[in-house]
């Protein structure tokens, strides 16, 4: 356990994980694998692994290797916490020891929660709808796209991603003036209705509906404008953000405490040195 919690083991794991992530970035640029990586990002990981992932086995094998690497890092974090940090709580600066231990424990919760988020709840991205179309949602809900209000230049809608980043300027696209009206029903009963703007999601009984962008069907005249939607639901989202916020606060407090106590401890060591 001492080896698993050592700094050398931590650095080796981090270096290996960085190389593996770089390999994943490269694989995502290969045309044969890019669609599989795209599906991995738009679906729950569990649904992806049980569904289209194995059409291109290299992608899921890379992901499983990533999970193995993160698991080793979690093991390293746990061993470091219980073999090195907890025994120090009774010695030296107790407050600093507790803060350092809590930082590690909360980070452990954040990593586990982040992993659980990828396999729990519901996730659909890159959903495309045209006005008048409907979409079945979880728990018996049905989404209807009533209308799309798009006043910007339609020529920027279907540009490739890299070109769109430079074309979608404030002059050509005004988020506040482009929106979609949606209605949510359960059976014949209307549950809610509202307007969707980019970066302004709608909460529907725990489901988060987000307007990700617009599109226009190719070779259709007169051209119509539809929407690209993302639908996400996860019971751990609130807990994840609370834990992440707590980690940031604890880490900031630890940094302040270390900065304040550092010079004083250094001066004390210099004073004791001649006496030795």
Contacts 24+ apart (CB under 8 A), 41-50: 41/125, 42/123, 42/124, 42/125, 42/126, 43/123, 43/124, 43/125, 44/118, 44/119, 44/120, 44/121, 44/122, 44/123, 45/118, 45/119, 46/118, 46/119, 47/123
Domains in the chain: ranges and CATH: 7-120+240-275 (no CATH), 124-233 (2.60.98)
Contact between residue 111 and residue 72 where contact means Cβ atoms under 8 Å apart: no
pLDDT at res. 15: 94
pLDDT at res. 148: 93
pLDDT at res. 171: 67
For the sheet containing 142-149, what is the strand order? 134-136, 142-149, 179-186, 189-196
Taking the CB of residue 241, how many other CB atoms lie within 10 A of it? Answer: 12
pLDDT at res. 172: 67
For the sheet containing 226-233, what is the strand order? 122-129, 226-233, 207-215, 202-204
pLDDT at res. 167: 67
pTM beyond 0.75: the answer is no
* Model pLDDT for residues 238-275, shown as the tens digit of each residue: 787 888 889 889 888 888 887 877 544 544 444 444 44
Backbone angles phi, psi at 34, to 5 degrees: -60, -35
Contact between residue 45 and residue 119 where contact means Cβ atoms under 8 Å apart: yes
Residues of the chain with pLDDT under 50: 263-264, 266-276
pLDDT at res. 17: 92
pLDDT at res. 164: 67
């Amino acid at each position: 356990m001492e080896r698993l919690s050592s700094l050398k083991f931590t650095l080796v794991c981090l270096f290996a994980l960085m190389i593996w992530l770089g390999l994943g970035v490269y694989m995502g640029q290969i045309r044969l694998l890019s669609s599989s990586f795209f599906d991995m990002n738009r679906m729950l990981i569990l649904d992806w692994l049980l569904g289209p992932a194995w059409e291109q086995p290299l992608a899921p094998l890379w992901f499983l290797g990533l999970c193995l690497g993160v698991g080793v890092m979690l093991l390293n974090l746990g061993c470091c916490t219980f073999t090195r940090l907890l025994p120090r709580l009774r010695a030296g600066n107790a407050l600093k020891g507790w803060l350092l231990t809590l930082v590690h424990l909360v980070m452990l919760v954040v990593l586990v929660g982040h992993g659980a988020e990828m396999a729990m709840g519901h996730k659909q991205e890159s959903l495309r709808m045209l006005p008048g179309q409907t979409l079945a949602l979880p728990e018996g809900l049905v989404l209807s796209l009533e209308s799309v209000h798009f006043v910007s230049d339609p020529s920027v809608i279907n540009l490739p991603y890299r070109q769109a980043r430079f074309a979608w300027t404030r002059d050509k696209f005004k988020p506040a003036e482009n929106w979609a009206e949606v209605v949510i029903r359960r059976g014949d009963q209307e549950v809610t209705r509202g307007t969707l703007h980019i970066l302004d999601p709608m909460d529907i009984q725990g489901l988060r509906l987000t307007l990700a962008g617009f599109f226009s069907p190719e070779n259709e005249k007169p051209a119509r404008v539809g929407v690209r939607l993302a639908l996400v639901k996860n019971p751990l989202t609130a807990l994840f953000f609370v834990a992440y916020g707590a980690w940031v606060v604890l880490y900031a407090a630890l940094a302040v405490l270390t900065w304040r106590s550092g010079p004083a401890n250094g001066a004390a060591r210099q004073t004791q040195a001649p006496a030795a």
